[in-house]
Structure 1
């Protein structure tokens, strides 16, 4: 085995351990799917209405928008590793509260704590994985964040229908505790150490992450960090610097497509959607199939993202989810208006949702986190990550909360048609403005953005003169 291969295995091992916390986030994300049907049933020990159920689902994501800014400051001052360890604490509190809950209010408080942890994890984890990786595998390591999240969701689909709500919470509690016990021994990001001129610690961290000679890479990292830190980054730099402004616009656009294609609603309400579709399988069985396909496709995305590229995967993903959302919406429309007309087409919802999951997982589910980790220089990366994840949290809350409102008021088909429209508009957006970053160093990506900004300015000037 060559030194380069050994280094890659070390990177994968470190990233896998680090992203165990995102598997914890996935358990929180997928938990409502098997739990809501029980809570809203007559057998529930905590009677829950449909509106209360939608709050239990969505309050977690709303609260995730509260922690990106504090966690960014914490990560910038005390390190990415320390911030990720801190992020495990709210998850532990949240699952303990679910275990002891006797009312909807306590469940909502538990979900609020989980949301706080969710915001910390998705602010800091992309940065940590992006900074410990070499250019060759950076995209693949970054997609592990989403892969582990999907593993956590799948665990809920597979375990949830067969155990009680409290037992499921106790099982989920194992993950954040395991993360703390393993991640505490892993190295900090060398980029973070070099920001504070701790060269010896940066060298030690990099040696723990690589095999072979690290001197050239350490020097390159030091040069990049020094270049980025000549002017200390501030929040205003996201708006005043043209390249940062363009990167922010592109990143927020990609995250908009990721959320408004309906993924958050489909994951949280999977069993209820399958129940309304009236397929031949049990809803929990269809959910398990959905989760398995989701995980398998995320693994495929990890393999493809550094081979095919970011942009092709995102374009294919947006096209696929747009078409499948339209198909599902049309099926539910005819199911509502004339059930007999689609009686022989009961296979369409599960098939369309499986294709949806495949298309979503290979691009929109994973690549946006790669984009946010690559598009910004070190001195403003945390700030950009904060803005993106606050925006994402609010968007996910809107999707999860309004899905139930729209479905109740205008039919489930209206919600899916709306998701389809957003997906196809997003396809056009990414086709026009998204650059390819595959295999490029952070310095090359910044240079490309500067060229794009210069070209845009020249085009505007020519338009005005004309």
Structure 2
């Protein structure tokens, strides 16, 4: 754009993605609090058992499965803005319950509430951010979702190392309350307003977001395009999963995204940063406890910055394929170290930590954000929320499954073999990214639909 500005779009994206920052705090809470909850001075009044901790840790992604259809319904029938506000309120409720009591049933209820809210983190938020963004920055703004999550994890790890149990909870509550208040000020997305027939409000909102006058040609062209797409959609029958599968472009797009998400969710990195201390100890890493705790979220934040800076220059497809390829190399390195140590040998001290850093960095820079960037760009706004809901529901289930089976399967086949299995999944991801994933950078929805229809 030769005139106007983008800072309002950045500000609104940050407000929406503050809920993802809170999700990062909640997701990272288990790692520093696990030792406290299982100690003799546990705020629960007794040490939590290993099985109780397993359920407290893994119930969040399981609960997120139910949160996805809820936020699909809310975003389609009540609006994107209302959905963001409800997410923020539910996250605040999680902290309130934890502050009230630390008994196991209440901790699980708090995690379920947070999990339901998390269901919108990678479904509703990318849809909303995409719909308020102009084409040349939409990739950066959607990719920022991962950065906010990683900052949340880092802050929680840092607080957990130096602050007491209840102070951490109060900080989390304050962040959530700020998110609640800020979400009230955010506008509804212009495409959703067009869907409701509120053309004048949509026009004003679009002009506000772009920093232009309502009569500017850029605003009028975008409005004409949204009205045209809305009219086309309304002439068609109500959108259901059946109608999505009947259209070749939407069916192909849905299948491609499901394949990418399956590979992403089972690539092993989520288990690595969830059980980081265990894997580092098994690999022979001897960092100080504080540095060991903070190293992984720091690497993830750096990876997120790389993703944001490169996504509009290099493209989604290349970043995704490169992320999978380098993650495979990192996992092979971890598996090799664990195998040598299992057989009684030793490896250079730099190799295990370098392999772990490479794997986590690639996950944050490419493997995690790119599927959601591609998904947010692949479908028109009438079916975007419903399709992304199906995908995210499936992704949360796979994530829960990976977390729940990681420890027993690692005990059965050995952690070294588990790393080699994960590396194989990443190599498959490279082929998928190069062979079947379309490049969506800079393309309109119509152009992407034509590409999908010809696949």
Matches within 5 A, 1:55-454: 55-212=55-212, 213=216, 214-231=219-236, 232-338=238-344, 341-342=345-346, 345-452=348-455
1:42 to partner: Cα distance? 4.5
Question: For the residues of structure 1 that align with 2:364 and 2:123, how far apart are their CA atoms?
Answer: 20
Task: Specify the SS of the correspondent of 1:177.
Answer: helix
SS in 1 for 2:77: helix
Residues 96 and 208 of structure 1, relative CA distance in 2, 3 Å threshold = same
Deviation at 1:146, TM superposition (A): 1.1
Q: Which runs of 5+ in 1 are unaligned?
A: 453-466
CA deviation profile, 1:147-188 (whole Å, cap 9, x unmatched): 111111111121111122332122111222111111211211
- Following the alignment from structure 1 to structure 2, what is the Cα–Cα distance between the partners of residues 202 and 337? 65
Select between 128-137 and 210-219 the one with higher mean Cα deviation: 210-219
Q: Report the Cα offset of residue 43 of structure 1.
A: 4.4
Partners in 1 of 2:98 and 2:335 — Cα distance? 34
Which residue pairs with 1:26 in the alignment?
Answer: 24
Paired residues of 2:98 and 2:110 also in contact (CA < 8 A): yes
Q: CA deviation at 1:115?
A: 0.3
Contact 1:34 1:284 survives alignment (8 Å): no
**Counterparts of 2:29 and 2:277 in 1: how far apart (Å)?**
11
Count of aligned pairs: 447
Compared with structure 1, are the counterparts of its residues 230 and 86 closer, same or farther at alpha carbon in structure 2 (3 Å cutoff)?
same
Structure 1 residues 39 and 422: CA distance shift in structure 2, 3 A: same
Deviation at 1:409, TM superposition (A): 2.9
> Normalization by structure 2: what TM-score?
0.94
- Whole-Å Cα distance in 1 between the matches of residues 133 and 355 of structure 2? 36
In structure 2, do the counterparts of structure 1 residues 332 and 52 end up closer, same or farther at CA, with 3 Å as the change threshold? farther
Summarize the Cα distance change of 1:350–1:382 in structure 2 as closer, same or farther, 3 Å threshold.
same
1:42-57 pair list within 5 angstroms: 42-46=40-44, 47-57=47-57
Partner Cα distance (1:287, 1:225) in 2: 49
Residues 365 and 91 of structure 1: CA distance in aligned 2, closer, same or farther (over 3 Å): same
Aligned 8 A contact 1:84 1:121 in 2: no
Cα deviations across residues 360-403 of structure 1 (Å, max 9, x unaligned)? 12211211111111111222111111111110110110111111
Query: Quick one: distance in 2 between partners of 1:70 and 1:351?
Result: 41
**Unaligned runs of at least 5 residues, structure 2:** none
Secondary structure of 1:122's counterpart equals: coil
Contact preservation (8 Å) 1:320, 1:356? yes
Distance 1:125 1:313 in 2: 22
Change (3 A) 1:415 1:35: farther
**1:44-90 CA-partner distances (Å, limit 9, x unpaired):** 34412333222221110000000211211111111100011011122
